[in-house]
Amino acid sequence: MKIMVDATKCVGAGLCVVAAPKVFSQNEDDGLVIVLQENPPPELHESVREAARLCPALVITYEDD
């Protein structure tokens, strides 16, 4: 899996961090998404999918291997 985000459209809701805290974080200054792991291990894939579903701005996309 490869994760891509469009941080320019992020609204800082933080639902990605709640769904996948090992993969996403938020910038302390503006609350925008930070990807901690662009290629997370298989055991985190479902949490990444959930984060993408929950994102109100739909900025998280991914490609499955």
Which CATH number applies to 2-63? 3.30.70.20
| 38: three-class secondary structure by DSSP | coil
| Strand bridging mode 2-5 / 60-63 | antiparallel
- Tokens matching residue 1: 């899996």
pTM of the model as a whole: 0.94
* CB contact set of 21 (below 8 Å; sequence gap of 6+): none
Instruction: Evaluate whether 9 touches 41 at the Cβ level (below 8 Å).
Output: no
pLDDT tens by residue, 33-46 = 999 999 999 999 99
* Domain boundaries of the chain, sorted by first residue: 2-63
Give the chain's residues under pLDDT 50.
none
